[in-house]
Amino acid sequence: MTTPKHYDRIAFVASPSAEAQAALKQLAELYGNCNPATADVVVALGGDGLMLQTLHDHMRSGKPIYGMHRGTVGFLMNEFSTVDLRERLGAAQESLIHPLLMRATDVNGTVHIHHAINEVALFRQSYQAARLRILVDERERMPELVADGVLVATPAGSTAYNLSVQGPILPINAALLAMTPISAFRPRRWRGALLPNTAYVIIEVLEGDKRPVAAVADHDEVRDVRRVEVLSDKTISMRMLFDPGHSLEERILREQFGY
């Protein structure tokens, strides 16, 4: 997809922090601040948390999202500057990402549907480890995983929580998902799996009454789940903009070499 040369109508969104709010005021005075519904591009001012929220808010709009770092963690953000913003937007490189769809069935049989840009994760809710059965494309791959939990991460999310639990870093354009255990007890040496992004993952909770488990899609949590289904939602494409030389592809590649 070719990035448009001009973004005349810019919508700014900002986190509640004083730093982000000051940036919002400054940029709105310079460039105006359109309603996101009629804007050509949405510019998010904050950290990665705000970027994820902005992507969720505009997931189905097709509008490009450009972040500038005015928060704590800024892996998904560009450097902040008030200078020549429209020119920066016009020269930005575009990364296309697809979210995960989580369909979680709880103890009452209620089905909860949420999307995740980074990962879908299952966690134990009590002091006892979770017991989980894993199926891929409706074929059993692990009859029992005893662990604090397990997650399925997108390439965009592979450098987030997935990396902190020793999961692999995936290039942004890789047609893969990372399945990574969280403090696996049995099988103790299992380090996870790389799955095609066409995979249909089912995780069943064993002994759910005794060993309750929660499922989380980014920031949406469902407690006391019994079955969680995960797949890449190709019906949704989100457009992220990055300055030349600082694309998401480049950032993820640099992460693999530890800098």
Q: For residue 222, what is the domain's CATH number?
A: 2.60.200.30
Are both 127 and 187 inside the same structural domain? yes
Return the minimum-mean-pLDDT range out of 123-132, 151-160, 227-236: 151-160
Annotated active-site residue 218? The verdict is no
Q: Give the separation between CA 201 and CA 221, rounded to whole angstroms.
A: 18
Residue range 228-234: mean pLDDT, rounded: 97
Mean pLDDT of the chain, nearest integer: 92
Are both 197 and 171 inside the same structural domain? yes
Are both 82 and 205 inside the same structural domain? no
Over its C-alpha atoms, the chain yields an Rg (Å, rounded) of 20
Percent share of the chain, pLDDT over 90: 79
- pLDDT digits over 35-45, tens only? 999 999 999 99
20, part of any domain: yes
94, part of any domain: yes
Is the pLDDT at 143 greater than 80, yes or no? yes
180, part of any domain: yes
Pairing assessment for the beta strands 64-69 and 41-46 based on DSSP bridges: parallel
Are both 86 and 115 inside the same structural domain? no
Residue of 8, 48, 57, 209 marked active site: 48
Q: Quick one: pLDDT at residue 3? A: 44
| Dihedral angle, C-alpha 109, 111, 116, 118, nearest 10 ° | 10
Are both 104 and 204 inside the same structural domain? yes
Q: How many CB atoms lie within 10 A of CB 94?
A: 16
93 vs 110 pLDDT, higher one: 110
248 vs 71 pLDDT, higher one: 71
Are both 225 and 121 inside the same structural domain? yes
220 vs 250 pLDDT, higher one: 220
Instruction: Give the model's confidence band at 211: pLDDT under 50 very low, under 70 low, under 90 confident, else very high.
Output: very high
Residue range 187-214: mean pLDDT, rounded: 96
Q: Residue with structure tokens 């069935």?
A: 105
Q: Quick one: pLDDT at residue 258? A: 65
Q: What is the pTM of this model?
A: 0.85
Q: Give the separation between CA 32 and CA 46, rounded to whole angstroms.
A: 18
Q: Quick one: pLDDT at residue 5? A: 60
Q: Quick one: pLDDT at residue 88? A: 95
Angle (nearest 5°) at CA 167 between 162 and 168: 110
Q: Quick one: pLDDT at residue 14? A: 96
Are both 138 and 92 inside the same structural domain? no
2, part of any domain: no
Percent share of the chain, pLDDT over 70: 96
Are both 44 and 69 inside the same structural domain? yes
Max mean pLDDT range (2-11, 72-81, 199-208): 199-208
Are both 196 and 213 inside the same structural domain? yes
82, part of any domain: yes
Instruction: Give the model's confidence band at 71: pLDDT under 50 very low, under 70 low, under 90 confident, else very high.
Output: confident
CATH of the domain at 85: 3.40.50.10330
Is the pLDDT at 4 greater than 50, yes or no? no
117's tokens: 């840009």
5, part of any domain: no
Are both 30 and 109 inside the same structural domain? no
- pLDDT digits over 49-64, tens only? 899 999 999 999 999 9
Chain-centre distance for alpha carbon 200 = 18
Is the pLDDT at 249 greater than 90, yes or no? no
Are both 91 and 201 inside the same structural domain? no
Which residue range(s) make up the domain with 114?
A: 100-232
Residue range 149-174: mean pLDDT, rounded: 91
Non-local CB neighbours of 151 within 8 Å, separated by 6+ positions? 119, 120, 121, 122, 161, 162, 165, 167, 179, 180, 182
190's tokens: 């299992």
Are both 75 and 104 inside the same structural domain? no
Residues 99 and 117 sit within 8 Å (Cβ to Cβ): yes
37, part of any domain: yes
Residue range 220-248: mean pLDDT, rounded: 92
For the chain, the domain total comes to: 2
3, part of any domain: no
Is the pLDDT at 238 greater than 50, yes or no? yes
Residues 243 and 79 sit within 8 Å (Cβ to Cβ): yes
